[in-house]
Amino acid sequence: MSMEIASSVEAIEGEAERILEEARVRANGILLEAREETRRILSAELPVDEVKTERDKIVSKARIASDEKIKASEGKSSEVSANAAKKAEGIVDLIVSIVTGAKLT
């Protein structure tokens, strides 16, 4: 039974890591899009100052968006971890009640 608990906790931790990795991938994608947009703008015939300003705006927006997604994913990860602890506690209580023959209230 303890192997099942460890397996469940490992699965939950794996899910949390997957969520964080997805956020990182999305953040990198946003930054890549911002760089591509910057290249497009730079290749257009615009005054350099306007291009730099636009580039800075795009990069800033991309960073903000990626930070928000990372924070959201970290929140989900924390939630998953907290749920894992609650589930493990419940399983331990169940095992104790089975072993002792006591009923939990």
Query: 79 is in which domain, residue-wise?
Result: 2-100
Provide the whole-model pTM: 0.42
- Mean pLDDT along residues 72-88: 84
DSSP codes joined into one string, 7-66: HHHHHHHHHHHHHHHHHHHHHHHHHHHHHHHHHHHHHSS--HHHHHHHHHHHHHHHHHHH
The amino acid that residue 13 corresponds to is: E
> Is 105 a member of any domain?
no
**Is 26 a member of any domain?**
yes
Over residues 34-77, the pLDDT tens digits come to 999 988 877 876 677 877 888 899 999 999 999 999 998 888 88
In a domain, 51, yes or no: yes
In a domain, 83, yes or no: yes
Tell me how many domains the chain contains. 1
Q: What mean pLDDT comes out for the span 19-26?
A: 90
Q: Does any domain span residue 46? A: yes
Q: Is 79 within a domain?
A: yes
